[in-house]
């Protein structure tokens, strides 16, 4: 049942130096909340270069801040502007602070990074905390990184005091039976009291579409995806070699390369894909849920959003996780296999074509995720709606401050 909250406002910060995961997660949460709370307006702060390609529901909009990208060295650089990274971060921090001051959100949801990219949220968080009118929430995916690596990173950046002193709540978009994202960190009881496991975010099929994706195949197909695709070349190459081997494989492949793959890599893979009988490919599909829903099975990397889609649409899946620079996908894939949801292939065996051939022959017959019962596994969106509701104020309940010049 929809609840009317005219004038309620929510601000979401999407940590998105690269890829699609953070933005897609924030979009899904925003859409679920505006569907439940009539009159709620949500702004998403994002530096994603393709945010304009996403469809947003009424009362959901975005503020595009200058983009940055993380290099393999671990350093950041400006995505489009030919200026120093510190100048880019200063511009971003200024836009974020001014947006928060003018928008006056009831709830500020920060995705993944407690202080934002390179600390760009610190000033805004302190301002909102001192003002006292905004509920400050940190949203964490189910797995952040391998525990020792995460502890080293967070302790070197002294992030735990921020969780203690600044944030009111910590929402974990996962299930405690799968993983504790802050395991091994020396958490105070105060931080533990703020933590709520929501369950994974169940992906619905879009209901209002002008057209369905052109690449849908009528026959049973294998969906091969690497999310944004920036580091997905090895996965596609491995699957392609299995089909090029001449082995009899049951499923026709549909490859979704991702918008961030290098053009020369895309072109090389596409030339090979065009030689596979019946194979189809896409670079980017805005309504990826349709491709996942129609698939007979999936081969993917282990990103959070893809994992949620595999669970949501109950797909037999094999995960080939990324292991550098973070081991988040490796931990998720390993724990998923332990629980019986999916299978995992070791990416260090990528040169062995026979392993992929064997895996693809077995994949259409392996158990589905639903064969492993886990209560509350996909309750994430409903739980978030319940957690957010008490902190969203209608126009009658808020004092409208004078407009800021």
pLDDT tens-digit profile of 250-265?
999 999 999 889 999 9
Enclosing domain of residue 263: 221-371
Which of 278-287, 303-312, 358-367, 371-380 is least confident?
278-287
pLDDT at residue 17 in the model: 57
- Mark whether 341 and 198 lie in a shared domain: no
In a domain, 396, yes or no: no
The residue among 369, 231, 245 whose CA lies nearest residue 303 is 231
Which tops the pLDDT comparison, 50 or 199? 199
Tens-place pLDDT, residues 150-206: 999 999 999 999 999 999 999 999 999 999 999 999 999 999 999 999 999 999 987
In a domain, 51, yes or no: yes
- Mark whether 290 and 319 lie in a shared domain: yes
Q: How confident is the model at residue 91 (pLDDT cuts 50, 70, 90)?
A: very high
- Mark whether 190 and 243 lie in a shared domain: no
Q: How confident is the model at residue 402 (pLDDT cuts 50, 70, 90)?
A: very low
Q: How confident is the model at residue 72 (pLDDT cuts 50, 70, 90)?
A: low
Does the predicted TM-score (pTM) go above 0.75?
yes
Domain count, the chain: 2
In a domain, 403, yes or no: no
- Mark whether 234 and 136 lie in a shared domain: no
- Mark whether 274 and 302 lie in a shared domain: yes
In a domain, 57, yes or no: yes
The mean per-residue pLDDT over the stretch 133-137 comes to: 97
Sort strands 252-256 and 221-225 into parallel, antiparallel or unpaired. parallel
- Mark whether 135 and 8 lie in a shared domain: yes
Which tops the pLDDT comparison, 366 or 206? 366
Tens-place pLDDT, residues 299-309: 999 999 999 99
- Mark whether 282 and 140 lie in a shared domain: no
- Mark whether 362 and 384 lie in a shared domain: no
Q: How confident is the model at residue 401 (pLDDT cuts 50, 70, 90)?
A: very low
Name all contacts of 317-321 with Cβ < 8 Å and 24+ positions apart.
317/342, 317/343, 317/363, 317/369, 318/342, 318/343, 318/344, 318/345, 318/359, 318/363, 319/343, 319/344, 319/345, 320/235, 320/238, 320/344, 320/345, 320/347, 320/350, 321/347
Cβ-in-10-Å burial (0-12, 13-18, 19+) of 129 comes to: middle
- Mark whether 289 and 195 lie in a shared domain: no
pLDDT at residue 358 in the model: 98
Which of 12-16, 74-78, 290-294, 386-390 is least confident?
74-78
Query: Is there a contact between 138 and 163 (Cβ–Cβ < 8 Å)?
Result: yes
- Mark whether 150 and 287 lie in a shared domain: no
Phi, psi of 59 (to 5 degrees): 75, 10
- Mark whether 33 and 146 lie in a shared domain: yes
Q: Is the pLDDT of residue 249 over 80?
A: yes
Q: CATH number, domain at 103?
A: 3.40.50.2000
- Here the tokens at position 253 are 């492949």
Q: How many residues does the chain have?
A: 405
In a domain, 23, yes or no: yes
Dist CA 258 CA 228 (whole Å):
4
Q: Is the pLDDT of residue 143 over 70?
A: yes
In a domain, 212, yes or no: no
- In percent, the amount of the chain with pLDDT more than 70 equals 92
Tens-place pLDDT, residues 327-340: 999 999 999 999 99
Q: Is the pLDDT of residue 405 over 50?
A: no
Dist CA 374 CA 178 (whole Å):
10
- Mark whether 156 and 33 lie in a shared domain: yes
- Here the tokens at position 102 are 């003018």
Q: Is the pLDDT of residue 214 over 90?
A: no
Query: What rounded mean pLDDT belongs to the chain?
Result: 91
In a domain, 65, yes or no: yes
What's the sign of the alpha-carbon dihedral 282, 236, 354, 298? negative
In a domain, 66, yes or no: yes
Interior CA angle at 228 toward 222 and 233, to 5°?
A: 65
């Amino acid at each position: 049942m929809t609840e009317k909250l005219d004038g309620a406002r929510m601000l979401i910060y999407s940590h998105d130096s690269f890829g699609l995961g953070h933005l897609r997660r924030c979009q899904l949460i925003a859409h679920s909340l505006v569907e439940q709370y009539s009159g709620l307006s949500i702004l998403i702060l994002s530096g994603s270069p393709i945010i304009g390609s996403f469809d947003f529901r009424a009362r959901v909009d975005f503020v595009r801040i200058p983009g940055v990208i993380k290099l393999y060295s671990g350093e950041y650089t400006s995505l489009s502007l030919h200026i120093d990274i510190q100048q880019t971060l200063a511009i971003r921090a200024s836009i974020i602070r001014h947006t928060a001051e003018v928008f006056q959100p009831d709830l500020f949801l920060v995705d993944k990074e407690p202080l934002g990219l390179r600390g760009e949220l610190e000033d805004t968080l302190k301002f909102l905390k001192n003002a006292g009118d905004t509920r400050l929430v940190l949203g964490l995916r189910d797995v952040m990184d391998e525990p020792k690596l995460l502890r080293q990173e967070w302790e070197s950046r002294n992030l735990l005091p921020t969780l203690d002193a600044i944030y009111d709540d910590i929402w974990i978009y996962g299930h405690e039976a799968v993983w504790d994202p802050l395991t091994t960190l020396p958490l105070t009881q105060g931080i533990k009291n703020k933590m709520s496991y929501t369950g994974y975010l169940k992906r619905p099929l879009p209901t209002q579409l002008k057209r369905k994706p052109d690449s849908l195949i009528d026959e049973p197909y294998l969906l091969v995806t690497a999310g944004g695709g920036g580091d997905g070349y090895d996965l596609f190459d491995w699957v392609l070699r299995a089909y090029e081997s001449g082995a009899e494989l049951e499923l026709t492949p549909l490859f979704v390369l991702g918008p961030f793959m290098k053009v020369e890599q895309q072109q090389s893979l596409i030339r090979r894909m065009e030689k596979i009988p019946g194979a189809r490919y896409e670079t980017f599909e805005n309504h990826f849920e349709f491709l996942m829903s129609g698939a007979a099975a999936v081969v993917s990397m282990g990103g959070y959003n893809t994992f949620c889609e595999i669970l949501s649409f109950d797909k037999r899946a094999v995960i080939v996780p990324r292991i550098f620079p973070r081991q988040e996908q490796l931990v998720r894939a390993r724990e998923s296999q332990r629980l019986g949801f999916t299978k995992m292939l070791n990416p260090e065996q990528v040169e062995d074509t026979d392993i992929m051939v064997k895996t693809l022959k077995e994949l259409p017959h392996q158990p589905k995720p639903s064969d492993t019962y886990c209560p509350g596994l996909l309750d994430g969106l409903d739980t978030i709606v319940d957690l957010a509701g008490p902190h969203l104020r209608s126009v009658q309940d808020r004092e409208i401050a004078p407009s800021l010049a």
